[in-house]
Amino acid sequence: MAPKLLAFSGSLRRDSLNAKLVKVAAEGARSAGAEVTYVHLKDFPMPVYDQDWFDEHGFPESVLNFKGLMKDHHGFLIASPEYNGSITGALKNVIDWASRSEPGESPLALSCFKGKTAAIMATSPGGLGGIRGLPHVRQILEGIGVLVIPQQKAVPNAYKMFNDVGQLTDDSQREGIEALGRQLATITAKLI
């Protein structure tokens, strides 16, 4: 069975550098036999998670749609921008919503996360490439049952790395990101 991977960026920007980055990893995963679905978080608008709002309104349709995608995939390719040395608010909000149990699930079922795999990566215009945010992404995902592979990658100086059509032009960086996608596909295939 081919592993199914869901690829997305933690950025809401349509022209996000991290969205471009995760697409490179997706190509690497496809070359290793994975089926990859790319989505943009902006297509799943979600209010900021608030337990009082949730108690009154329940799950927004966008959350249920995104949770359905997560459940239908074995693992995740996630490119997370670094915001002030940490995870983006958008990515944290998606994780917070997806971690809520649906009717019929036990509390803390974490059905979107337990037993899933993930590869994490980042890029930024700065010299560190977003690396300071990745430990936070890893800690959150591992804390809710995701097996995050040890390899991760941060691509610095992103404004120089992508051409006008979103291709990563630095051969070494592109090969490293594609390898990350291949590694996740290979590991996930062994686990399913």
pLDDT at residue 168 tops 90: yes
Q: What dihedral angle (degrees, nearest 10) is formed by the CA atoms of 96, 101, 106, 111?
A: -80
Is a pLDDT exceeding 90 seen at residue 107? no
User: The sheet that has 35-38: what strands, in order across it?
Assistant: 35-38, 4-9, 75-79, 117-123, 147-155
- What pLDDT, on the 0 to 100 scale, is given for residue 115? 96
% of the chain with per-residue pLDDT over 70: 100
Q: What is the mean pLDDT of residues 163-168?
A: 91
Output b/e per residue, 128-141; b: 16+ Cβ within 10 A.
Answer: ebbbbbbebbbebb
pLDDT of residue 32: 98
Average pLDDT over residues 146-168: 95
* pTM more than 0.95: yes
- More confident position, 67 or 108: 67
CB environment 35-53: b (16+ within 10 A), e (fewer): ebeebebeebebeebeeee
CB atoms within 10 A of CB 64: 15
What mean pLDDT do residues 105-120 have?
A: 95
- For residue 136, pLDDT over 90 is answered with yes
pLDDT at 61: 98
Residue 42 pLDDT: 96
Average pLDDT, the chain: 96
CA–CA distance, 102 with 124 (Å, rounded to integer): 36
Contact by Cβ (8 Å): 148, 118: yes
Mean pLDDT of 117-145: 97
Nearest to 54 by CA among 113, 97, 90: 97
Tokens 């608010």 appear where?
A: 89
Set out the domains of the chain in order of their start, with CATH numbers. Answer: 4-191 (3.40.50.360)
Write out pLDDT tens, residues 72-95: 999 999 999 999 999 999 999 999
Over 90: is that where the pLDDT of 161 sits? yes
Tell me how far apart the 2 most distant CA atoms of the chain are, in Å. Answer: 51
Q: In the chain, which ranges are E strands?
A: 4-9, 35-38, 75-79, 117-123, 147-155
